[in-house]
Chain A
C-alpha cells in the first residue's frame, strides 16, 4: 500500500459562525440518523465569549495504537475510521484522546468520531467550515511515551 500523504481536516472560521449549529445536526444525521446534534454529533460548536470555538477530531491518529481489537484504522483517504462492528466498546480511545474528540453517545456503547465526510461543511449556511488538506506526517502523533517522560 502506498504511503498516505495527506488527510482532510476541518478548518473553522469563527467570524462567520452564527451558532445555529447546523453542522452538528448534519453530523448527528450521518452518525445516528437524527438531527439532534449535541452528544450525537462528532463536531461541537462551543460558545466562547462573543465568539465560537470548534471542537472536532484533527485526525492525528493517537488513538490508533490504543485499540486492542484493531477497530481503528487510517483509511486510504487518511481519515481515522472506527469500525463499530469490530469495536468492543472499551472506551480506551475515548479516554486517551488528548482533545476529547472521540465521542460516546448514550445510545450505544461504541464511540464515534469525525470521518471528514464534509456534511457539516455543506450544512453550514455561512461557510464557517472548510475541508483542508494537511500532510499526515505533520500531524500524526503516538501515544507511547519515553520512559520517565
Chain B
C-alpha cells in the first residue's frame, strides 16, 4: 500500500461491494414502541439519566442518575451493577425474562483528548456462568449513547420478533421496530444499518452512527459476543470491536434484538462539558507526545497493535500452545507480529474511538475469505489482536491467514474468539486422547492444527439445525466436561484438569503454570479467568517482586481495583501501561506507572470538578468490586469453591508436559518439597506430577486465604457486612443477605482457612472470623 498523505477519498480497501434495496428493507419495518425525550446537556461527564427499555411490555422510560448513585457507583460498570441489583432476582438466569442487557458509558467516556476514552461496558447474567458478566468494548456506541442523552441503556424482557432499537440523538426519539429482512451477521448488518440510518449519504453522516450487533453464532452458542461498530472514513467500512466475554451476544439474540443503533446530530471535543477542558487537553497532549516518541521503542502498538505480545509470550514460555500444554512452540515464529504487519493496512489513525493515538485497532483489508457462506468475497478483518492469535497457537493453527479466517467468522457470527478458541483447543486435546473421536464429533476430525475442521465447526455453530455434539460444544467447556463425564468417555479428573474454564468462563490466552499470583489473577475474580483484573506474570514470575503470600495478596488487591477503575469511567486500560513515560523505570513503583496514575487523577478531576486523590480512585473501584462479589453471593456463587481453577493452569497435568519442562519441575521438587536431587531423578514421572499437584493446589488455597483476608472477605470468600459498611454501603438488603450467607457457612463449618499450614507457617490471621473484631462504623 502507498504510504501516507493519501486524500481520504482515494483510499481503497479492495473489499467486495454490496448493493441493497434499503427502501425494501425499511418498508418491512413495523414500529413496536416509540418514546420521545427531551434532549439535554451533558454536565461534567454525566448525562444524569439512564434509558430503560422493556421489550416485552414495550415500556420505555428514563431513570434519573442521583448524586448518591455517582458517589457510590461512579459510573460505567458501577451503574450497571446498580441497575442490575434493582432489576433482577437472585434466581435470574441468562434466558429469564427479567434478565437485563446493560450498556453503560462512564464520566470520562466520549472525551477525545485522552487516548482510550471511548469504552462501553456491557453487563448481563451470563449463560456460561449464571452470574453477572461484564465486558468492555471500544467503538463509537458508548460515546454516542451518552451524547444522545444517556449514561446507560438497560434492556429487559424479550421481543416477539427480531427488532432493532434506535436511539436517535438527533431527533430525541427512541424507537423499537421489527427488522425481518436485514442480515444477521455483523459485518453485513453493520454496513446496512449504518447506511440506512445516516442522515445523509456521505461519510461524515455515516461516522455519526454506531451499531451494536451479534450474529448467527451468538444465537446458537453460549459464546455470543457483541460487535460495536465505528465507521472508518478512510476505509469506508463500518468496522467493529467486540464485547467478547461471557455470552452477551447470546442474551442479545435471546431477547430477539438484531441491532441497537445510536445516532448523534453532532459532537465536539467538549460535548461532555468538562469542568476544566484545558486541563484534559494538556494531559491528553502530553500522552499523545509520549506515544509519538516512545511507542515504537516500547510496544509498537501503532504499527502492530497487541500482536507484538505473541513473540514476547513465546519467549517467556507463556504463549498457550495446544490447549495450554506448552508455553512456547517451535512453529510460533510463523505467527509473530511481523507476519501480521505484512498484512495490516498502514498509515491510518486506527483508534476505536477518536483521539486514541495508541491506534491498536489494526485491520487486514481486502482479505479473501476461503470458507463458508462468504467464500471468495473480500472483506475487512478487524484484528487480530493478541488473544485471537494466541487462540491460533492454542489450536495449533500456525498460519496467519488461518487465524484471520477464524477471526473474521467469529466476529461476523458474533462469537467470542477467546471462548471459541480455548474451547476448541480443549476439544482437540480430548480428541488426541481418544475421549472424543470423529464419530462423537459429528464427523469432524478435531485434531490440533486441522484448520478445515475448525472452520467447519464454526460454520455449523452458525446454523440452526445442529447435531448433539455441536449443540453441547457450543455451550462451552464446562458443559462439555459434564457431557464427557456423563458418557464415561474418559478419566473425569483428566477432563476437569485439562478444560480451561473457571466459573464456566473459558480462559483467556496466557499460560499461568509458573506464576501463582497470576493463577489468583484468573481464579480469584468476579467474572472468571479474564486478564482484565490482573496481569501479574512478569512481576511475579520474571522479576520475583512479590515472593510472599502477603505481597501477592496486596498485588491481587491493588491491581484488580486499579483495573476495575477503567471500567467505571469508560476508559481503555492500554494507555495506562502499554506506553510508559521515559523515566518510569526510575520511579518507586514502576509497575503502577505513577505518572499515568496521576494523569488519571487529574483527568477525572478536570472532567467532574471533583477533588479526588489516587487513593480515592482505588476506593471508587473497591466499592463496585465488593458490590459485584456480593451480588455473586446473592446469586448463589461467590464462594471459595467458585474460585476453583483447573490444574492445567497451575502445573503439568500430563507426562508430556512434565517431560517437556523436566529440569524446571525436578528443580522445583528439590527446592520446594525438600526431596534430594538423586531421589527425584529416580522417581517416575507420574509420582512427581502427583507431588507437584498436591503442593500447587495447596499453594493456591493459601493464596486464596491471603487474598480473601486482604480484601476483607470471610475465609470462604464472602465480603463481610463490616467491609461493606467501611466502603460506605448502608443498603440493609445487601448487608443482611451477606450476614445470612456467612451464618449459613458457619453452620457448614466453612469459615475456616483453606490452606494446610505446617509448623512455622501461619494463616493470615489466627482467628478466621477476624472481621468480627472490627469496630462497626
Contact A148 B296 (CB under 8 A): yes
Residues of A28-49 contacting chain B, CB below 8 A: none
In whole angstroms, how far apart are the Cα atoms of A143 and B269 in the complex?
23
| A: contact size bracket | 35 or more
CB distance from A121 to the nearest CB of B (A): 26
B281 contacts A by Cβ under 8 Å: yes
CB distance from A87 to the nearest CB of B (A): 8
Residues of B302-359 contacting chain A, CB below 8 A: 302-304, 337-338, 341, 346-349, 351, 354-355, 357
CB distance from B158 to the nearest CB of A (A): 37
B204 contacts A by Cβ under 8 Å: yes
Contact A91 B355 (CB under 8 A): yes
Residues of B704-718 contacting chain A, CB below 8 A: none
| B: contact size bracket | 35 or more
Residues from chain A with a CB closer than 8 A to the CB of B349 are 65-68, 92
Q: Which residue of B lies closest to A146 (CB)?
A: B303
Contact B347 A65 (CB under 8 A): yes
CB distance from A144 to the nearest CB of B (A): 5
Q: Which residue of A lies closest to B2 (CB)?
A: A142
B277 contacts A by Cβ under 8 Å: yes
State whether A74 and B5 are in contact (beta carbons under 8 Å apart), knowing that A65-B347, A90-B354, A109-B277 are contacts in the complex.
Answer: yes
Contact A106 B278 (CB under 8 A): yes
Residues of B1-46 contacting chain A, CB below 8 A: 3-5, 7-8
A56 contacts B by Cβ under 8 Å: no
Contact B347 A88 (CB under 8 A): no
State whether A91 and B5 are in contact (beta carbons under 8 Å apart), knowing that A68-B349, A106-B278 are contacts in the complex.
Answer: no
B740 contacts A by Cβ under 8 Å: no
Residues from chain A with a CB closer than 8 A to the CB of B4 are 64-65, 140-144
Q: Which of B3, B112, B285, B357 contacts A144 (CB 8 A)?
A: B3
A96 contacts B by Cβ under 8 Å: yes
Q: Which residue of A lies closest to B348 (CB)?
A: A65
Contact B341 A89 (CB under 8 A): no
Most B C-beta atoms less than 10 A away, residue of A86, A89, A104: A89
Contact B278 A88 (CB under 8 A): no
CB distance from A140 to the nearest CB of B (A): 6
State whether A91 and B354 are in contact (beta carbons under 8 Å apart), knowing that A142-B4, A147-B303 are contacts in the complex.
Answer: no
In whole angstroms, how far apart are the Cα atoms of A141 and B112 in the complex?
25
Contact B281 A91 (CB under 8 A): yes
Contact B233 A70 (CB under 8 A): yes
Stretch in B68-76, B182-190, B287-295 touching the partner: B287-295
Contact B5 A64 (CB under 8 A): yes
B520 contacts A by Cβ under 8 Å: no
Residues of B209-252 contacting chain A, CB below 8 A: 233-234
In whole angstroms, how far apart are the Cα atoms of A66 and B337 in the complex?
23
B267 contacts A by Cβ under 8 Å: yes
CB distance from A143 to the nearest CB of B (A): 7
Contact A145 B303 (CB under 8 A): yes
CB distance from A81 to the nearest CB of B (A): 13
Contact B5 A95 (CB under 8 A): no
CB distance from B466 to the nearest CB of A (A): 41
Contact B284 A144 (CB under 8 A): no
Residues from chain A with a CB closer than 8 A to the CB of B337 are 147
Residues from chain A with a CB closer than 8 A to the CB of B268 are 88-89, 109-110
Known: A74-B7, A92-B349, A142-B4. 7 other contacts (CB 8 A): A70-B203, A88-B269, A90-B355, A91-B281, A91-B285, A104-B285, A109-B268
Give me the interface of B with A, judged by CB distance under 8 Å: 3-5, 7-8, 112-113, 203-204, 207, 233-234, 267-270, 277-278, 281, 284-289, 291-292, 296, 300, 302-304, 337-338, 341, 346-349, 351, 354-355, 357
Contact sample, A vs B, 13 pairs, CB 8 Å cutoff: A1-B7, A64-B4, A73-B7, A87-B269, A88-B268, A89-B268, A95-B286, A95-B288, A98-B292, A142-B3, A144-B347, A147-B303, A149-B296
